A and B are shown apart, each in its own frame.
Chain A
Amino acid sequence: MDITDLTLTQTIKALENKQFTEAELNSAYQKRIGQVNSSLNAFLEVIDTNSGIPVGIKDIISTKGIKTTAGSKILSSYIPQYNATVIDRLIAQNVSIIGKANNDEFAMGSSGENSAYGPTKNPWDLTRVPGGSSSGSAAAVAANMCVFSLGTDTGGSIRQPASFCGVVGLKPSYGRVSRYGAMSMASSLDQIGPLTKSVADARLVLDWISGPDEYDSNCIKKRLTTNDSRFTKSLKGLRVGVPKEYFGVGLDPEVERVIKAAIKQLADLGAELAEVSLPHTEYAVATYYIIMASEVSSNLARFDAIRFGSDRGDFGAEVKRRIMLGTFSLSSGYYDAYFTKAARVRTLIKQDFEKAFEKCDVIVGPVSPTVAWKLGEKVDDPLKMYLMDVYTVPPSLAGIPGLSVPCGFADGMPVGLHLLGKYMDEDTILSVGEVYEQATKWHQEKPKL
């Protein structure tokens, strides 16, 4: 048995049964990191652990005493003096931080290529991107460099790299998990969530990290619940909404084939399919890039090289681009035409989901219109890169939870099935994901490194 193949729930059980010790567990992961990190560039910092459950943490999440760069040159020597709330909660569950995971600078990017510390490579094909912005978090889980990892998702940054690397990724509902200690990108959208080797693991980690926090006033008081009557073996009684707008122009035919097969499998497991419509989908990317960039320009104003960090000239090209776009859309004379306009369209996108959920319990579709693309392929055309976020940004704008579950391969690269739930109903998408996962073998496929 290779210890590093085990999921979180399997690892906990094996430790309880004394199949191996925590020291052996950590040394197995340290060894694995030593073998593959130089070719993947998934971890920027590796910590010499010998106890606890070793996990990877996206380098935008503050870890006390451990360098946290956010993938930026501006924070090249920044050492947080406190832990993010999620880190304190993981430590309370006997988790140890084994690596700080590479990411697009300040979580801005869809490919991992915007890190000041070099791109992360996709473990399935080293010439391809792992997705972003939680690039290292996804690659590290796929390559068995940690038991699970944490990422952040503002417009798809957990789900899309999870899909590209063939792991499970969950973006919780906005307000489910405290953002305290995650460096703010776009405050009305940011969420922290897990990237894991199984759906059951994602449920467990969400249970650990979620819940009210006095340091994040947008964090809701209600605890996560697991419904006893949830779906466990069959999906009989489940209504699955299939939005016609998610299967239009731009969707790669091979990805479409894999997603349609997965949806058919949900029907074979007893679910009832219903066509739904999300008519404002075509405006989601434009809406997102105004709202996100505006919030970015405000949040990143704190980098003044006085309290921490270096000069603003050390921001990378994509970060500067978004600060510029956001500053413009918030500037006098353009505020109503851009920022307020986008906030109004956001209401329509949110209402699209509310109407669709009258006819179904979950919505399914692709996470990304294509599989992982080649490194360098889209770096010169920012708009082309932004358009790849077409399926992940609408749920982010609506604040609803989204889960990416491995559902097959196209051109030899992993494809993720996107399961979207009602606001604060992670329970249903997780149980559908669990049933689907148990009925398939996709999550057992591992990259050959």
Chain B
Amino acid sequence: MKLTLEQVKKVAKLAKLNLSESELAKYSEQLSKILSYIDQLNKVETSKIDPTYNVTGLSNAFSPDEIRPSLTQKAALFNAPQQDKGFFVTKGVFQEE
């Protein structure tokens, strides 16, 4: 299938990627080509086939509910680009855009 520039812009927004005009044009062309290749999957009859999301067959693998040592506050914040009084500094939620 062919992806229009508008569709690519929408996908970039969903993916939180700020793409330049030239990137948008490039991905529109490249993703269209890749999706056209992927469209060959439509030739495969799958109406009676269950999807596979995990090959181990494991489900509900629980661990015991107990308190154990974890990262210290200092270690958890070590790589934070910005921190304040022992907290991560986040972007504003309501002021965006």
Q: Which chain A residues have a beta carbon within 8 Å of chain B's beta carbons?
A: 77-79, 81-82, 174-175, 188, 214, 217-218, 220, 280, 282-283, 285-287, 289-290, 297, 301, 304-310, 312-313, 315, 320-321, 323-325, 327-328, 331, 338, 340-348, 350, 382-383, 386, 397-399, 423
CA distance A289 to B7 in the complex (A): 19
CA distance A343 to B55 in the complex (A): 11
Chain B 51-63 against A: per-residue CB contact (8 Å), 1 yes, 0 no?
Answer: 1111110100101
Q: How many A-B residue pairs have CB under 8 A?
A: 142
Known contacts A345-B46, A350-B52, A305 near B58 by CB under 8 Å: no
Interface centre among A282, A304, A347 (most CB of B within 10 A): A347
B50 within 8 Å of A (CB atoms): yes
Q: Is the CB of A289 within 8 A of B63?
A: no
Chain B nearest CB from A108 CB (Å) reads: 14
Which residues on A sit within 8 Å (CB–CB) of B35? 325, 328
CA distance A347 to B48 in the complex (A): 11
Q: Is the CB of B37 within 8 A of A399?
A: no
Interface centre among A280, A289, A324, A346 (most CB of B within 10 A): A324
Q: Is the CB of A383 within 8 A of B34?
A: yes
Which residues on A sit within 8 Å (CB–CB) of B88? 306-307
Which residues on A sit within 8 Å (CB–CB) of B41? 283, 286-287, 290, 341-342, 345
With beta carbons under 8 angstroms apart, the residue of B16, B18, B33, B55 that contacts A188 is B55
Which residues on A sit within 8 Å (CB–CB) of B81? 305-306, 308-310
Which residues on B sit within 8 Å (CB–CB) of A341? 41-42, 46
Add 10 more A-B contacts to A81-B78, A81-B79, A328-B7 (CB < 8 A).
A81-B71, A188-B54, A217-B58, A280-B44, A290-B38, A320-B17, A331-B11, A348-B44, A350-B55, A382-B30
Known contacts A188-B53, A286-B40, A327-B14, A218 near B58 by CB under 8 Å: yes
With beta carbons under 8 angstroms apart, the residue of A347, A383, A398 that contacts B50 is A347
Q: Is the CB of B79 within 8 A of A218?
A: no
Which residues on B sit within 8 Å (CB–CB) of A306? 80-81, 88-91
Q: Which chain B residues have a beta carbon within 8 Å of chain A's beta carbons?
A: 3, 7-8, 11-12, 14-19, 23, 27, 30-31, 33-35, 37-38, 40-42, 44, 46, 49-56, 58, 61, 63, 71, 75-76, 78-81, 88-91
CA distance A346 to B50 in the complex (A): 9
Which residues on B sit within 8 Å (CB–CB) of A313? 17-18
CA distance A306 to B15 in the complex (A): 16
Q: Is the CB of A347 within 8 A of B34?
A: no
CA distance A331 to B56 in the complex (A): 26
CA distance A53 to B80 in the complex (A): 33
Chain B nearest CB from A44 CB (Å) reads: 17
Sampled A-B contacts (11; CB under 8 Å)? A220-B56, A289-B34, A306-B80, A307-B88, A309-B81, A312-B17, A312-B18, A320-B23, A325-B31, A344-B46, A398-B55
Nearest A residue to B48, CB-CB:
A344
CA distance A200 to B23 in the complex (A): 47
Nearest A residue to B78, CB-CB:
A81
Known contacts A283-B41, A320-B19, A175 near B56 by CB under 8 Å: yes
Which residues on A sit within 8 Å (CB–CB) of B91? 306
